[in-house]
Amino acid sequence: MRYSARKSVMAVALMATAGMAQAADVEVLHWWTSGGEAAALNVLKDDLAGQGIGWNDMPVAGGGGESAMTVLRARVTAGDAPTAVQMLGFDILDWAAEGALANLDAVAAEEGWDAVVPAALQAFAKYDGHWISAPVNVHSTNWVWANKAVLDDLGIAQPQGWDEFVAAMQAVKDSGKTALAHGGQAWQDATMFDGVVLSVGGVDFYRKAFIDLDPEALGSEQMVEAFNRMETLRSFVDDNFSGRDWNLASAMVINGEAAFQIMGDWAKGEFLNAGKTPGEDFLCFRVPGSAGAVSFNSDQFAMFAVSSADAQAAQGEMARSIMSPAFQSAFNVVKGSVPARTDVPNDAFDACGKQGMADLAAASDSGTLVGSMAHGHANPAAIKNAIYDVVTAHFNGEYDAATAAEELVTAVELAQ
């Protein structure tokens, strides 16, 4: 049965009850557990507390959200779904297809979401034309974070191209420091691969490979070169990288133990939480060779269908709060991401935030904004996980670059 038929009552109920019912507490399942993420989440908690809505926290550690989705499935199977869940990309659409999510059309219409949320985000926030989640932010994955003091001490300027980047990492390695801070987890490997593939072939190649799943692109010489570049990056990672959480890799850069990290812009939240200032203590720039392109993901809160009028009212108010311009600014300033609305001023944002907002607007206008493969915005989970397996196996030395490209073609074909 289609979503609109199964949940038609929610289209009317959610905001109708908001005006009549006492807003209940919200139980929120999420994976924002690092210092910077927790600081950002407190912005939302405080905003809701000001409206008399309590927050029952259900954090599940794991930067890519895989563990949280496993817990969610168990909760839903047991008939005990949380009222709100942090989700990414195709995971949102999968739950909507099951008819599990509440319809947010009424609050979306009242607040004018259609006019201010970019179409690329609406593709994941709507199902069958109905709003089923509230986007909190826009992250992008093809960023490099660098310790400025480490670079300055070695006379290294911000790298402008791939070869300069490799030369910079070599200089850091020669100095005895770790050149590239990284955590050996599949989603982190894939996050680096997002930027590397863009650096090799640009947006057109990225789109053919990861969104269109073109076998020729997946097995091409360009893809072999992307895997070759991953081998180069692996040579600059320290020996203790296996299993390291992403925020611990960020801490290596923050503390001057390492020079660079390739990570999404949630890493900036860790630098800010440590009291660091963009341009003075750290640098932010696109993976060399990928400038002009933005691979994005968007954290969104999906509301699970609930029967209680009080719970529905709380969901409506939470969605309204998430999408308010004031919250979008306050939250994203702390989180490191940029607003999910196009009408939020950049005044409160630091240099990296302003650059991120400008990059997003330019990429959206020029057609160089693409969903992140690593974070579930290019293809559904089965295909994403198949790509993960190949990328991580190669990064850990199981395949050479040519074999990895061949395995990628096979893995994606079997996953479809």
Digit-coded pLDDT (tens) for 308-339 = 888 899 999 999 999 999 999 999 999 999 99
Domain boundary among 332, 355, 378: 355
Domain boundary among 355, 382, 399: 355
C-alpha–C-alpha distance, residues 215 and 48, integer Å: 48
Q: Are residues 40 and 77 in the same domain?
A: yes
Q: Which residues contact 85 (CB under 8 A, 6 or more apart)?
A: 28, 29, 30, 68, 72, 301, 302, 304
The per-residue pLDDT for range 357-408, each reduced to its tens digit, is 999 999 988 999 999 999 999 999 999 999 999 999 999 999 999 999 999 9
pTM of the model: 0.88
Q: Which residues contact 282 (CB under 8 A, 6 or more apart)?
A: 145, 146, 147, 148, 253, 254, 271, 276
Q: Are residues 228 and 377 in the same domain?
A: yes
CATH code, 145:
3.40.190.10
Q: Kind of pairing, strands 282-286 and 143-147?
A: antiparallel
Residue-level pLDDT at 3: 40
Q: Are residues 213 and 235 in the same domain?
A: yes
Cα pseudo-dihedral 321, 76, 375, 345, rounded to 10? 0
The per-residue pLDDT for range 163-213, each reduced to its tens digit, is 999 999 999 999 999 999 999 999 999 999 999 999 999 999 999 999 999
Residue 181 tokens read as 């801070």
Q: Are residues 198 and 103 in the same domain?
A: no
3 state SS of 400: coil
3 state SS of 308: coil
Q: Are residues 270 and 310 in the same domain?
A: no
Q: Are residues 131 and 253 in the same domain?
A: no
For residue 43, give its domain range: 3-139+297-355
Q: Are residues 123 and 156 in the same domain?
A: no
Q: Are residues 170 and 259 in the same domain?
A: yes
List the single range of 22-31, 149-158, 332-341 with lowest mean pLDDT: 22-31
Q: Are residues 367 and 235 in the same domain?
A: yes
Q: Are residues 184 and 82 in the same domain?
A: no
Q: Are residues 274 and 391 in the same domain?
A: yes
Give the E-state strand segments of 197-293 in sequence order.
258-262, 282-286
> How many domains does the chain contain in total?
2
Domain boundary among 316, 335, 355: 355
Size of the chain, expressed as the number of residues it contains: 416
**Average pLDDT, stretch 24-35?**
92
Q: Are residues 70 and 147 in the same domain?
A: no
C-alpha–C-alpha distance, residues 335 and 358, integer Å: 17
C-alpha distances in angstroms, 99 versus 6, 7, 126, 132, 355?
A: 6, 7, 13, 10, 38
